[in-house]
Structure 1
Amino acid sequence: MPVAKTLKETTSVLRDVPPQNAFYFYRSIGAPTGAAARNLSDFVGVLSSIDIASIQFHTSRGDFENWLRMLGDDSLAQQITGLKEKKLSGEHLRMRLVDVVKTRINQIQKRTT
Structure 2
Amino acid sequence: MPIAKTLKETTSVLRDVPPQNAFYFYRSIGAPTGAAARNLPDFVGVLSSIDIASIQFHTGRGDFENWLRMLGEDSLARQITGLNEKKLSGEQLRMRLVDVVKTRINQIQKRTT
TM-score by length of 1: 0.97
The alpha carbon displacement at 1:103 in A equals: 0.6
Greater Cα shift, 33-42 or 6-15: 6-15
Deviations, residues 27-55 of structure 1 (Å, cap 9, x unaligned): 00000001000111110000001000000
Spell out, residue by residue over 1:72-111, the C-alpha distance to the aligned partner (whole angstroms, 9 max, x if none).
1111111111101111000000000001000100000000
Deviation at 1:10, TM superposition (A): 0.6
TM-score by length of 2: 0.97
Aligned positions of 1:24-63 closer than 5 A? 24-63=24-63
| 2: CA distance, partners of 1:95 / 1:106 | 16
Structure 2: how far apart are the matches of 1:100 and 1:72?
16
Number of equivalent positions: 113
Larger displacement relative to structure 2 (29-38 or 8-17): 8-17
Tell me how far 1:2 sits from its aligned partner: 2.2
SS in 1 for 2:33: strand
CA distance in 2, matches of 1:100, 1:2: 26
User: Structure 1 segments of 4 or more deviating over 6 A?
Assistant: none
Aligned residues: CA RMSD: 0.7
C-alpha separation between the residues in 1 aligned to 2:25 and 2:39? Answer: 13
Question: What is the SS of the residue equivalent to 2:34?
Answer: strand
Which moved further from structure 2: 55-64 or 12-21?
A: 12-21
Identity of aligned residues (%): 94
Q: Distance in 1 between matches of 2:85 and 2:3?
A: 33
